[in-house]
Structure 1
Amino acid sequence: MANEMTTANGQPFDRASLESLMRRRMFYTPAFDIYGGVSGLYDYGPPGCALTNNIVDIWRKHFVLKENMLEVDCTMLTPYEVLKTSGHVDKFADWMCKDPKSGEIFRADHLVEEVLEARLKGDKEARGQKVEEGVEDPKKKKKKLKAITAVKLEDAVVQEYEEVLAKIDNYNGDELGELIKKYNIKNPATGNDLLPPVAFNLMFQTSIGPSSNLPGYLRPETAQGQFLNFAKLLDFNQQSMPFASASIGKSFRNEISPRAGLLRVREFLMAEIEHFVDPEGGKKHPHFDEVKDVELELLNREVQLAGKTHVETTKISKAVETGLVDNETLGYFLARIQLFLLKIGVDKTKIRFRQHMANEMAHYATDCWDAELFTSYGWIECVGCADRSAYDLTVHMKKTGAPLMVREPRKEPLTIEEFQVDINKKKFGPKFGKDGKKVEAELLALTQDMREKLSLDLKNEGKITVEVPGVGDGKVEVPQEILTIEKRTRVENVREYTPNVIEPSFGIGRIVYALCEHNYWTRAEDEARGVLSFPPTVAPTKVLIVPLSSHTDFKPFVRRLNNKLQDIGISSRVDDSGASIGKRYARNDELGTPLGITIDFQSVKDDTFTLRDRDTTRQVRAPLDDICNAILNLVNGTEQWADVAKRLPAFEGQEVE
């Protein structure tokens, strides 16, 4: 398991070097840069767009096509009522604290984490221990915290800090405030005291329409559109359960203090799945056997609450069997998430699945695991996989009356004995007037146990008392002449139920950045030569075409190669600049281009070309059809470079600086 950040070839990781490369080669750039930029907003350049699109394409094939999911594209503008009903207006918040003198705002949990980690790092330095190279704070933070990084701590304090950090995600606002007091945490830049943490809703608010009378938000997730379309999707799926919908699109969160580049931004691309499943029968998955032997690194909530962070390597079948992972469908998607991350080139030693603790669990979740990727910023959540139970469909159905449920014929009729509530509408309306709907709703919502008890009260006392919030003093008497509660038998031929939902949610931007860190390294002979070893399947450009010089004899071959690669769906670039072959390859190694074709005078003579592998810099030489066939196999993942090198003749050639 990863415990320090190194490059793909085992060198100490240099984040500044990678981020310089990514900006210089325009993987991404600060948005509105010439106006000074806006924190947490970035634009993607050509290689960043291509890398993202390739990852999304693989995601579609891995999930949407494999699982026959129903893809939808829902609007980003969302009316207030929808997000009020879903709970986001009231509960979608982080804790922030303010320096009242400078006005600076901090996200409370991140500040506690930042300061305690800096103190632990300073303790290591004071003890003369090696400090992990890749996990330092960003330069900005490092400057601010410089004054507190060289202090030796008591052993008990070190242990206490480590325990707090292990469960940092589980603290609520009051608890974070207590930690800030207890550990004397102040504004790192000014030393000023901070106000107690307060909740800050992360949604961007807006108004819809010219009169601004319809309040709304930019969506914080793509999920709600999928839930609201459930009935239509079920109908499209011919009323067949289980099934999954999927959506890829932008979401927005008004981050309190966005830092860490692409890892914490205010506008980001999400890919989300809503798998609708029958809650009866343990939420089984029909294809669980296909992944049952996949091993995951699991960090469960009990370990975190004990102040530890050690993981256990566990087969997903065992994790489900023991109840560590709640059900088969949740376990199935955890395994499939790992397989997807490995397919796009994420380092297997830098993946773990962390279970949410009670306080950090989203308001809709009954169990949740995050796929976290290890980066120079530490462990970063890149995929969340939650069991949302029936929460969303239930609250939207209750609010709107829309039938967001499944109706299916029973194989055998079901005889049910239950207490039923009958209301005499002619007398009920005049008695309760405008409060009638509220009273009726409470009566119909009574549980079977409560109905049984009240039926006795009705029989013995001739009336019942029910609690109805918002009516009088909250208690309402209902007399026997307008209400009947009695036990009856009914036969049910159709079963109605509200599906539960398992939701894998992918932060594509975070995955893109973590992938870059996991695949970045520099050549041993020249540390200035950075390389991004993306798998050919996700690399922004697959092939670099390099004519040896600008000689006119090479131009027809360049055109022919380009056309041939385009015909087989392979992206390529031509570099016919005056730089040496070595320099041209080096600058495309930075872009992650896995393959290169050189056109030289031998090509003119016998129509053969050299094919170069980015990582080994080794080359083979063969006719065009053989070269293109090898490229296609490499890009499709059906061959590795070692396979190509075995069957095509090696070329010891010219890569001259």
Structure 2
Amino acid sequence: MTTTATTLKGQPLDRPALDSMLRRRMFYTPAFEIYGGVAGLYDYGPPGCSLQANIIDVWRKHFVLEEDMLEVDCSVLTPHEVLKTSGHVDKFADWMCKDPKNGEIIRADHFVEEILESRLKGDKEARGQKVEEKEEDPKKKKRKAKGVQEAVKLDDAVVQEYEEVLAKIDNYNGEELGELIKKYDLKNPASGVQPSPPVAFNLMFQTAIGPSSNLPGYLRPETAQGQFLNFSKLLEFNQGQVPFASASIGRSYRNEISPRAGLLRVREFLMAEIEHFVDPEGGKKHPRFHEVKDIELVLLNRTTQLSGKTHVEKISIGKAVADGIVDNETLGYFMARIHLFLKKIGVDQSKIRFRQHMANEMAHYAADCWDAELLTSYGWVECVGCADRSAYDLSVHAKRTGAPLIVREQRAEPLVVEEWEVELNKKKFGPHFKKDGKTVEAAVLATTQEQREALAKDLNEKGSITVEVAGVGDGKVEIPKDLITIERRTRTEHVREYTPNVIEPSFGIGRILYALMEHNFWTRASEGGDEARGVLSFPPTVAPTKVLIVPLSSNEQFRPICYKLSQRLRKLGISSRIDDSSATIGKRYSRNDELGTPLGITVDFQTVQDSTITLRDRDTTKQVRADEDKIIAAIQSVVDGSKEWKDVEAELPIFEGQEIEVATR
């Protein structure tokens, strides 16, 4: 599948022009810029904040409201013990190399990827093939400037080998990345030397809680742990019913080794995460799966990647689950719902795929995971992860704290259980084993049903049993018959207890926001020969501002009409801006096309006479004219998504009176 970046209108994406426009119009800007800035930290300006808020609003309605989720807002500061138990302290890491000559810190997988891609690019140039440009982060540019890869033709076998390595680059561990660096003699072009072997670098920001600094903690790397720790309270709030889902939107923090690609790899970011708790019995079915089973998704499974290929398959989610490509209905249901959400906010449908994680890249808690990846000028970028976390998190936190993070439900029919039970003579057991008593007791109680059956036989035949107990004597302990009883007994269970499994969709809002801006950017040529104007064709539901109100001139008669229209729209919850600057009406519209404003109202002298106004569409620049009530109703229907511009155009009279001014901007 090609990685060529194009705009909404099929033009090649001019990323420098887009980045310049986004910063000029203050969608986002480097944080602390007047102090030189800090890599991986960005501030959002007014349109960026509005766009982000609107994406979150659609997310809440699409997931929290429609799925009846329980939203929580948990603490960012997290004690060390919580993240030690969850596995993040030991396992939440990326692989890092250091250049021994210039001291540059390099992320190992990115380094291997960049050098091999550079060699493949040189091969294509040597073969006279067209080369597609990908991302150019500052550090990569610097390395290239000092050591540009020459156009050298490679053997076909080497090309295939490089492509296979790149197809499964996310699956290599640190040792394997180090072997690749040595095998292919990969050197940092900036220094001409090979970097040191990769070492694990934990991505969490460490801190201390309290003035005495004796309670170590971290800024959370995800919002999930707070949801797991509140599971029992959420279950009670939900009247003990499973399945149910919690949701959380908030900041997370990761100390990235080499932040790059603007908003795509940052150290502080907004996440929206869902934890869907489900009964593991019954194959994790979902009651609403039938509603989405016919939705087709583009899938890149792990088997294809491990074969060194990136071929995708378009398949209905119902068939993917039935064929075992996607593990279960609940995982498949949320993958389809993620697809629908991305479509709703305006993501280009030709630039979405779901990629399955390979074994080595799988998070330590995940049993299966699919990433919703969006194609940008930087290549395919993970924007949403959908993981089956099994019962990992609730189990480890329950074991560490003793808290009952389980579901108890009354059985419809009592369950009769026949099993081997162990009973210890506590009066004699402790004095007999003295200081080793608790260790021996734990070993006995940890025996399986099969082991207990064999031990019961030994107890009856030999009068004693031998149990393996690590750390006591020679590792084997004999227990006489008078200290223990092992019998087959029957009990009746009226209540079932189980630890639910968790399906977790996790959204990186900043990455989605950036991909949305790339997917909806295009340029409109001007007839006067001026520089082409950028346009952001956001859907009205997420556009930062919905309506621009433009008075035809600075005539004082227009001012109260504009103010009245603005107030009326705001009372309906529709954001608007008045642009009464001295620029031509065409230039005023163009400036707001850059901001993604979908609709524009023009107030002119005819408005003063008969209260009619024009309504302009951003993408087509076409206009209709009608009285104020009809125009407001049309705006409301477009903004809430019940109608499109073509519907408005079919219902209201076409207006061409200001086309000349619009065309000559």
Answer yes or no: same fold by TM over 0.5.
yes
Give, in angstroms, the shift of residue 621 of structure 1.
1.0
Q: Tell me if 1:225 matches 2:226.
A: yes
Give, in angstroms, the shift of residue 2 of structure 1.
5.2
Q: 1:269 to 1:433 in 2, by over 3 A?
A: farther
Contact 2:101/2:191, CA 8 A, preserved across alignment: no
Distance 1:422 1:627 in 2: 81
Distance 1:376 1:510 in 2: 13
Contact 1:121/1:149, CA 8 A, preserved across alignment: no
Q: Give the secondary structure class of the aligned counterpart of 1:563.
A: helix
Aligned residue type for 1:15: R
Aligned residue type for 1:53: A
Map 1:533-572; keep pairs closer than 5 Å: 533-572=537-576
Q: 1:129 to 1:474 in 2, by over 3 A?
A: farther
Normalising by structure 2, we get a TM-score of 0.96
Q: 1:234 to 1:586 in 2, by over 3 A?
A: same
Q: Deviations over 1:295-314 (max 9, x none)?
A: 00000000000000010001
Which residue of 1 is the match for residue 613 of structure 2? 609
Give, in angstroms, the shift of residue 22 of structure 1.
1.1
Map 1:242-253; keep pairs closer than 5 Å: 242-253=243-254
Contact 1:2/1:350, CA 8 A, preserved across alignment: no
Distance 1:74 1:511 in 2: 23
Q: 1:46 to 1:480 in 2, by over 3 A?
A: farther
Which residue of 2 is the match for residue 98 of structure 1? 98
Q: 1:399 to 1:351 in 2, by over 3 A?
A: same
Q: Deviations over 1:130-158 (max 9, x none)?
A: 1224x243355234225115222221111
Aligned residue type for 1:173: G
Give, in angstroms, the shift of residue 601 of structure 1.
1.2
Distance 1:492 1:406 in 2: 15
Distance 1:31 1:602 in 2: 47
Q: Give the secondary structure class of the aligned counterpart of 2:513.
A: helix
Aligned residue type for 1:353: F
Aligned residue type for 2:144: L
Distance 1:474 1:260 in 2: 57
Structure 1 window deviating more from structure 2 (111-120 vs 630-639): it is 111-120
Distance 1:527 1:471 in 2: 83
Map 1:53-452; keep pairs closer than 5 Å: 53-133=53-133, 135-138=134-137, 140-146=139-145, 147-431=148-432, 436-452=437-453
Q: Say which of 639, 642, 649 aligns to 1:638.
A: 642
Give, in angstroms, the shift of residue 475 of structure 1.
5.6
Q: Say which of 587, 594, 597 aligns to 1:593.
A: 597
Structure 1 window deviating more from structure 2 (471-480 vs 116-125): it is 471-480
Contact 1:136/1:142, CA 8 A, preserved across alignment: no
Q: Give the secondary structure class of the aligned counterpart of 2:336.
A: helix
Give, in angstroms, the shift of residue 193 of structure 1.
1.9
Which residue of 2 is the match for residue 465 of structure 1? 467
Contact 2:444/2:467, CA 8 A, preserved across alignment: no
Q: 1:479 to 1:115 in 2, by over 3 A?
A: farther
Give, in angstroms, the shift of residue 51 of structure 1.
0.5
Aligned residue type for 2:22: M
Distance 2:507 2:361 in 1: 18
Q: 1:327 to 1:251 in 2, by over 3 A?
A: same
Q: 1:484 to 1:618 in 2, by over 3 A?
A: same
Structure 1 window deviating more from structure 2 (261-270 vs 524-533): it is 524-533
Structure 1 window deviating more from structure 2 (344-353 vs 424-433): it is 424-433
Structure 1 window deviating more from structure 2 (122-131 vs 274-283): it is 122-131
Q: Deviations over 1:301-340 (max 9, x none)?
A: 0000000001000100000001110000000000000000
Q: Give the secondary structure class of the aligned counterpart of 1:490.
A: strand
Distance 1:123 1:488 in 2: 73
Q: Give the secondary structure class of the aligned counterpart of 1:326.
A: coil
Q: 1:232 to 1:136 in 2, by over 3 A?
A: closer
Contact 2:95/2:109, CA 8 A, preserved across alignment: yes
Identity %: 74
Which residue of 2 is the match for residue 531 of structure 1? 535
Q: Tell me if 1:489 matches 2:490.
A: yes
Distance 1:242 1:33 in 2: 47
Number of aligned residues: 655
Distance 2:275 2:264 in 1: 24
Aligned residue type for 1:466: E
Structure 1 window deviating more from structure 2 (10-19 vs 374-383): it is 10-19
Contact 2:357/2:370, CA 8 A, preserved across alignment: yes
Q: 1:454 to 1:82 in 2, by over 3 A?
A: farther
Give, in angstroms, the shift of residue 453 of structure 1.
3.4
Q: Deviations over 1:192-240 (max 9, x none)?
A: 2211001111111111111111111111111111111111111000011
Q: Deviations over 1:455-502 (max 9, x none)?
A: 34444551322344x667766555544333332211111111110000
Contact 1:218/1:252, CA 8 A, preserved across alignment: yes
Structure 1 residues without counterparts, runs of 5 or longer: none
Q: 1:435 to 1:531 in 2, by over 3 A?
A: farther
